[in-house]
Amino acid sequence: MRFTDKFFRRREGFTLIELLIVIAILGILYSFAFSYLTGFMEDARFARAKAELSQVAKATQQWVIAHGGVWPDDVDRAIPPGIQEYLGPGEWPEAPWEGSVYDWDNATVGGETYYQISIRFCPLGQPSQCNFPDQDWADDFDYYSSVYFCMGGPCRAHPNKPVSHPGYCLNCQ
């Protein structure tokens, strides 16, 4: 056997080093793809929230017209009863983010009444179970925060909090 035959003969399969390099490269590519898809999913949830809150607001306005200008009573963690006939198909009141729900507010605070539809991110009485959006605008959210669509009056993130409390109004200036 010649010296060159011993070192240059053809091998079968891959070495452990080659396999580890391939696995490391695939792991890096996966982490880039996962972070990109996570951002994409958050953007999709936000777009769905905007569309659905607007849809509920329009349906509620149609309900108000059909009922002689009277707004529906406040509902805790649900959409106003009776507006389903004005809504398109969907899972009402299931909101876009996992664990979130719609909440209709017809509230009077400081003598001023406001009307809005909100998305709440925390189960009632369980502030440790909140599931906030992974967005910059939600960084300072707490148990009382919400994303909301204002339909009239001094809207706010929660009826028990001031107008300045952290929240995200979709149609406010």
Whether residue 51 is contained in a domain is answered as yes
- The stretches of the chain forming alpha helices (DSSP H) are 3-8, 16-66
Whether residue 138 is contained in a domain is answered as yes
| Residue 44: pLDDT over 70 | yes
| Residue 34: pLDDT over 90 | no
Whether residue 6 is contained in a domain is answered as no
Whether residue 1 is contained in a domain is answered as no
Per-residue confidence (pLDDT) for residue 30, from 0 to 100: 82
Whether residue 52 is contained in a domain is answered as yes
149 DSSP β-pair partners:
117
Q: How many domains does the chain have?
A: 1
| Residue 7: pLDDT over 70 | no
Average pLDDT, the chain: 87
Whether residue 7 is contained in a domain is answered as no
Whether residue 17 is contained in a domain is answered as no
Is-contact 116 137, C-beta < 8 A?
no
Per-residue confidence (pLDDT) for residue 2, from 0 to 100: 59
**Total residues belonging to the chain:** 173
Q: Give the model confidence (pLDDT) of 15-27 as tens digits.
A: 888 888 989 888 8
Q: Give the model confidence (pLDDT) of 55-78 as tens digits.
A: 999 999 999 999 999 999 999 888
Q: Which residues form the domain of 149?
A: 38-169
Per-residue confidence (pLDDT) for residue 91, from 0 to 100: 67
Whether residue 164 is contained in a domain is answered as yes
| Residue 3: pLDDT over 80 | no
Is-contact 172 136, C-beta < 8 A?
no
Q: Give the model confidence (pLDDT) of 104-120 as tens digits.
A: 999 999 899 999 999 99
| Residue 137: pLDDT over 70 | yes
Per-residue confidence (pLDDT) for residue 173, from 0 to 100: 63
